[in-house]
Amino acid sequence: MASLKLHRQRWQTKVRIPSHLVAKYEGRKFLYRHLATSDRKEALQEANLWEAALRIEWAQMGNDGPPDPSRLRDIYSRVFGDAIGGAFLLQGDPGDPDEVTAGISRAIDQIADQFGDKELPEADSVRLAALNDALLQRQGRRVPRRVELEPTFRALADDYLTLWRTQQGLKETNTEQQKVATFDLFALYWGPRPIRDIRKSDAAAFVDALRQLNPLWGRSPAAKSKGLSWSQLQQQFGRQERGLSDATINRHMATLQSFWKWAQERDHCEGNNPFSGFHKKLKDGRNVRGYLAWETEELQRLFDPPPKRADLVEVMQVAMFTGMRLDEIASLEWEQVRKADGVPFIQVTDAKTVAGVRRVPLHPRLSWLLKRQDAKPTGRIWPGFNPEGPGKKAGADAGKEFSRFKLALGFDDRRKVFHSFRKNVVGQLEAASVPESEVAQLVGHEKGFTFGRYGAGVSLARLAEIVALIDYPDVPLPHP
């Protein structure tokens, strides 16, 4: 930090030179500067601005090319904000617009006196631009757009993500990772340019490249280390006959479309949204291949012989007799196994949606959970599954274990997964003519408008009757 010393009725400041740059200054440890003022407050402002410019210069020593644009943007933003806020006020009332304007004008004159007809260093040029723009704004005049100081697309995306994370009630999921992946990928394509310059043709070219990008590109070590340029990415993984799926491209473009809207509201860009109009309607059976329920013969193979891991066997059976999601099951704690009105049930609290918070009666085939609970255990029921991912969910680890098990049996259809047990439950209840609204309440689906807004909900006793309808008579299920 710059220090001040009064010398012959004028202030003098000094700044310590970073130790790794001392040799570049012939062994000196400090830089000194005489300030053209006898006012201490004014001198401190000038000293701080000088030090900021030095920091920029030092950061660039040993680097080729111009100063880091992000550092120049930082200088501009800070100086502009300080000037608007009255930081250059010499005396008088900070709320007096004339005094604030006079302070900004004085700061501009100081730079002019310091450099005269000399060409300004880039950092000082940015300081002067910020002061001039602040003066224009204080005078109610139009502030020019300084393209060279606008944040890059990726830098602005970080600001967007920072505000996005502040949403109330935001659950920890992989949504943030997906957004970051989208911004990283487009930034790789777009380079260090601002969002304002993006045109429809740029977005279209990006989509064309995605349609030819190997879906497994993100798993390569080079991609994970972010060591690839866009041209290298295209050489190694682009120009494929089949690229990213329509669903994945839709997700990328929806993220970019929302980002543009956010940036436009903050005057970072203008005009029609270049990322709109690329959504492709997905068709069942073609673009959207939903999960399928397990056939009876397949369930027989899954349990004869069963997995070697006892905890995996148990979560599979819980899914088969409750229709609960994998994350809901793997993260269950003993205190969630409860009883009300004589009906034992599982209280689902940390669900994917609001509708997912529900009570699921225990099927008679799951009575072993109650017997274990007699020993008054605490904590997670299946602690062997490690919490993973952004939300630290045990379901990710359990999902990997199930995937390894089913692949070893030859089940490689991506529509046959752990979630398929949920399909089995819903399918059986539909076959038993259970009303859709009751099935929805049991498995945590959103109910239709009428039942969702006006329905009183299904009683726990009725839900227990529904759960008892689930049966797998031809599947040799092991007893935990």
Q: Which two tokens stand for residue 435?
A: 């009303």
Please list, in sequence order, all residues whose beta carbon lies within 8 angstroms of the beta carbon of residue 169, skipping any fewer than 6 positions away. Answer: none
Phi/psi at 343 (5° precision): -110, 115
Q: Report d(CA 444, CA 463) in Å as an integer.
A: 12
Using the predicted structure, report yes or no on whether residue 156 has a pLDDT greater than 60: yes
Look at residue 390 in the predicted model and tell me its pLDDT: 56
The fraction of the chain above a pLDDT of 70, given in percent, is 86
> What is the model's pTM?
0.56
Give the mean pLDDT of 183-201. Answer: 93
Domain boundaries, the chain: 3-149, 153-265, 296-467
Neighbours of 130 (CB within 10 A): 24
What fold does the segment set 153-265 form as a domain?
A: DNA polymerase; domain 1 (1.10.150)
Look at residue 314 in the predicted model and tell me its pLDDT: 95
CB 24, CB 61: distance < 8 Å: yes
Q: pLDDT: is 294 or 13 the higher one?
A: 294
Do the domains spanning 153-265 and 296-467 agree at the CATH topology level? no
Task: Label residue 428 left, alpha or beta by phi (over 0 means left) and psi (-120 to 50 means alpha).
Answer: alpha
Look at residue 225 in the predicted model and tell me its pLDDT: 66
Using the predicted structure, report yes or no on whether residue 207 has a pLDDT greater than 90: yes
Look at residue 451 in the predicted model and tell me its pLDDT: 45
Look at residue 351 in the predicted model and tell me its pLDDT: 59
Look at residue 2 in the predicted model and tell me its pLDDT: 65
Please list, in sequence order, all residues whose beta carbon lies within 8 angstroms of the beta carbon of residue 213, skipping any fewer than 6 positions away. Answer: 233, 237, 238, 240, 243, 244
Using the predicted structure, report yes or no on whether residue 61 has a pLDDT greater than 80: no
Using the predicted structure, report yes or no on whether residue 168 has a pLDDT greater than 60: no
Architecture of domain 296-467: Orthogonal Bundle (1.10)
pLDDT bracket for residue 402 (50, 70, 90): very high
pLDDT bracket for residue 286 (50, 70, 90): very low
CB 135, CB 106: distance < 8 Å: no
pLDDT bracket for residue 64 (50, 70, 90): very low
Look at residue 6 in the predicted model and tell me its pLDDT: 78
Residue labelled with tokens 């995996």? 312
Highest-scoring range by mean pLDDT, 39-43, 116-120, 301-305, 411-415: 301-305
What digits encode the pLDDT tens for the residues 228-272? 889 999 999 998 888 898 889 999 999 999 999 999 998 889 999
**Angle CA 290–291–293, to nearest 5:** 135
Give the mean pLDDT of 200-210. Answer: 96
What digits encode the pLDDT tens for the residues 3-14? 788 766 778 888
